[in-house]
Amino acid sequence: MEKIKVIVGLGSCGIAAGAGKTYEKIQALRQAENLDFDLKKTSCIGMCYREPLVEIIDQTGSYLYGEIDEIRAVEIIDRHVIHHTPVKEHVVQTDLFPTADNDFMQNQIKITLRNCGYIDPENIDEYEARQGYRAIKKIAGQRISRMDVVQTVISSGLRGRGGGGFPTGLKWKFANDNKATEKYIICNADEGDPGAFMDRSVLEGDPHSVLEGMIIGAYAIEATGGVIYCRAEYPLAIKRLNIALEQARRKGYLGNNILGIQGFDFDIHIKEGAGAFVCGEETALIASVEGERGMPRKRPPFPASSGLWKKPTNINNVETYANIPWIILNGAEAYARYGTEKSKGTKVFALAGKIRRSGLVEVPMGISINDIIFKLGGGIRDGKKFKAVQLGGPSGGCIPEYLAHTPIDYDSVTATGAIMGSGGMVVMDETTCMVDVAKFFLDFTRKESCGKCTFCRIGTKRMLEVLTRITEGKGEQGDIERLQDLAFQIKESSLCGLGQTAPNPVLTTIKYFRDEYEAHIRDKKCPAKACKQLLTYEVIPDKCTGCMVCAKNCPVEAITGERKQVHFIHQEKCIRCGVCFSKCKFEAIRLS
């Protein structure tokens, strides 16, 4: 009889939610009670909204428990492990009976995330047990040529998952065609938008899939060295990458004459980045690896001909590399069965914002925005109305509710004014002010501008000033046109993708929510009631009981009135803090 397995999710999201304490509690229980079960670690399974997660596998099947703190840990160990009775009220996913969260997992197709949450990321044997390193062994055993590997990737239809969506196989072909004796391959793990949460989760949960993808890429283009450029703010990812690199070297997957392939000498090292958003752009990344300030360079020449140390270089992101072993092992046709004609395979999204189920989901290309939000994400929180989704990270665009039927593929998303990016998807409800959203994302890109291009450095600053003025009730006629003109200049004149896409949140919110801009400027009102300086708090006479709670809690004494008499808010004193609104028990304060 196999031992019961207890597996605790210890990715960054789980640890932040208290999974480390949960693990320690279960470990202490096993020792104190002398219990005979296997206790293991894994990483994020994607169900971040239910962390900490604990999976119990017994003879009957697998049970994933959610929100397991130290107290609940005692309960599930006692009832399930000791007395063999699953605690159904805490189960969030199982194949044995329906749960409220089953849709989250069952509507996904996992290729990139195939091992995340299922293996111990610090144990290479567990990766190998799930077909790990079989793709590179297949290449070595069958003596598959480098060009055949490139052609397989081309035929799969895989496009770069880092933003632009350039065909991966074609990128590899350019580097393969270059006959230089020194070449490099780089994994970009430093992208700074919400989708980078996905990159971090893959590095934490399945680092060997990325290493194997890089090894295959190195073989395909005859690279002599590899670099993983990872932001230093991902310490757990870096720790597990270093463990994986050492394990891969010991097993002969890195080093000289890899797997008996004569002359295939390749190793990888990690370069820790400072977290600059601009280093998601490949030439800025290369400059940073070389020890220079991370600033973009003019292209051409492109990295495929002159990249790291002016040698031919291929750069892909984490998700792209994680797909490669699966494609080589299962074939280009198997991968191309998923997705649409021009956007093959699956895509990972990091769901965030006003959504019931936040976390990571992997879905086939072509699925609609609506299906992601309502089938997997469970819809909008607190019964609010879906308003828009911001897709593609800080440089992405906002897609309104009436376009939520849009299929998720590169061409369809681009047509809306948004971009695929690396998979950030921020969901907004009716309480979200779209002008404020545009200001938020533009503030981010302004701060992250490297300053090399005048239009990016100064133009984003001027746009932010206009947006700030609008949200403060100081907007002027012509501000919308001023923003559009600045956006056009920035897009046309910036050197790299950061500047070229920085205006996207502003342009898409103007395009789809122009009435909100006009309300801010003309009426000095925020329709979403989100812009603090445009709010007005008033007492509703028919509801006010004169209890004086609002007056006593007002920090600036802006409310007057006698006990049991209707109170009054003096607008010239009111600082719009909202304390009166939140404290009133009789709903006698009106917000307009």
pLDDT of residue 313: 96
Of 190-204, 268-282, 353-367, 474-488, the one with minimum mean pLDDT is: 190-204
Residue 129: its pLDDT value, please?
A: 97
pLDDT at 563: 94
Q: Which pLDDT score, from 0 to 100, does residue 196 have? A: 62
Q: Compute the distance between CA of residue 585 and CA of residue 546 in angstroms, rounded to an integer.
A: 11
Burial 75-90, CB ≥16 within 10 A → b, else e: ebbeebbeeeebbeeb
pLDDT digits (tens, 9 = 90+) for 291-316: 999 999 998 999 999 999 999 999 99
Please state the CATH superfamily assignment of the domain spanning residues 124-336 in this structure: NADH-ubiquinone oxidoreductase 51kDa subunit (3.40.50.11540)
Domain 535-591 of CATH type 3.30.70.100: no
The pLDDT of residue 421: 81
Alpha-carbon gap, residue 535 to 528, rounded angstroms:
10
CB atoms within 10 A of CB 374: 17
Nearest to 246 by CA among 208, 215, 282: 208
* pLDDT tens-digit map of 224-251: 999 999 988 899 999 999 999 999 999 9
pLDDT beyond 50 at 456 = yes
For the chain, the domains span 5-105, 124-336, 346-429, 434-523, 535-591
Check pLDDT > 60 for residue 195. Answer: no
pLDDT of residue 274: 85
Question: Could you confirm whether domain 434-523 is CATH 1.20.1440.230?
Answer: yes
Query: What's this model's pTM, rounded to 2 decimal places?
Result: 0.93
Under the banding of pLDDT at 50, 70 and 90, the label for residue 105 is confident
Task: Provide the percentage of residues in the chain whose pLDDT is more than 90.
Answer: 89
Share of the chain above pLDDT 70, in %: 99
- Reply yes or no on domain 346-429 having CATH 3.10.20.600: yes
Determine the pLDDT at residue 592: 84
Q: Using one digit for the tens of pLDDT, what is the confidence trace for 380-405? A: 999 999 999 999 888 889 999 999 99
pLDDT digits (tens, 9 = 90+) for 506-554: 999 999 999 999 999 999 999 999 998 999 999 999 999 999 999 999 9
Q: What is the mean pLDDT of the chain?
A: 94
pLDDT given at position 174: 95
CB 118 within 8 A of CB 144: no
Q: Which 3 state secondary structure label does DSSP give 429?
A: strand
- Interval 349-374 mean pLDDT: 95
Query: What average pLDDT does range 468-476 have in this prediction?
Result: 95
**pLDDT above 70 (res 131):** yes
The confidence band for 192, taking pLDDT boundaries of 50, 70 and 90, is low
Confidence of residue 194 (pLDDT cuts 50, 70, 90): very low
* pLDDT score of 1: 65
User: How many angstroms separate the CA atoms of 306 and 426, rounded?
Assistant: 36
The domain covering 5-105 belongs, at the CATH homologous superfamily level, to Glutaredoxin (3.40.30.10)
Give the chain's end-to-end CA distance (angstroms, integer).
66
- DSSP SS3 for 394: helix
Q: Which whole-number Å values give the CA distances from 278 to 321, 494, 496, in the listed order?
A: 21, 12, 9
